[in-house]
Amino acid sequence: MLFDLGAEICRQAEANHDLEAPNGAPNVYGLCVDPDAKYPAQSWARNELCAEMAGQVLAATETTSSALAFIYYELAKSPTLQQQLLQELMTADTDEELESLKLLDSCIKEGLRFRPPVALTGSRLVPLGGLEVCGHYLPEGTVITTQSLSMSRQRPDLFPDYDTYNPQRWLQEDGKSAERKRLLVPFGVGSRRCPGGNMAVYQMRMILYHTIRAFDIRPAPQTTPEKMEPFEANGYRSRHDRCDLMFLPRARGSAHSRIENAY
């Protein structure tokens, strides 16, 4: 099914090959088949190209939706936190102001720390001669990777309640805040960092901004803590692979009064 999606993307891209984007920007398919690209992939077999296109779509959609599902669930469980976030969101009049909203940013950071949609970063090979890491010798040629979930859970001095969704931790300005931020690596680090990381955060800001302002979010009766217990499958998903929530329209013009009544 996923491969069929990749094949369909290739067919659509080829059918629209002569059409230029309004802003002149290239698309991913075009970059993969461009003979003048820095790393041309025109030697790929057809099935390899289709698999790459399917992977690009999966990486750009499934990860963001999984992260948002857990963030929505945590906000639905905590009406007070949701109201605090709503109050902050009501101070922004345009999408361009979202980057300065600290609680919104903290809710996203904590969601990516608490339930990262991608558990493992890209794998690497230990170089010739082997490598010693924290007193452990790794032979050359060993495939290694890092796991973003473990980063905070191995430092209870920085994350004392590491198994709790607590966005407030990212609002603390103390001697440990810089180290906390350094251990938040949901997109990896370095030259192989996920190229779509910034886009994903931007999308989450936009989606949360518009949905929280428009809807009061509550857990559906069938969405229990047991069903939302996560399991790891190179990322975190709910135990029953779904997150049913109720999105109740907010009364027009009543957001500010509802916030005041919440305190």
Q: Which residues are annotated as a binding site?
A: 194
Residue in the block written with tokens 């790794």: 138
> Which string of DSSP letters, residue by residue, matches 4-37?
HHHHHHHHHHHHTTTPPPTT-PPPHHHHHH-TTS
Asked if 112 contacts 67 with a C-beta cutoff of 8 angstroms, the reply is yes
Helices (H), the chain: 2-15, 28-33, 46-77, 79-89, 102-114, 148-153, 177-182, 197-214, 255-261
Asked if 67 contacts 115 with a C-beta cutoff of 8 angstroms, the reply is yes
Q: What is the largest CA-CA distance in the chain?
A: 66
Cα of 189 vs its chain's centroid, Å:
15
d(CA 211, CA 76): 12
d(CA 209, CA 84): 13
Q: Which whole-number Å values give the CA distances from 254 to 9, 34, 97, 215, 251, in the listed order? A: 44, 53, 22, 12, 5
The SS3 call for residue 228 is: coil
Q: What is the residue type of 8? A: E
Annotated binding residues for heme, as ranges?
194
d(CA 76, CA 118): 23
Q: Which residues on neighbouring strands pair with residue 218, listed in sequence order?
A: 246
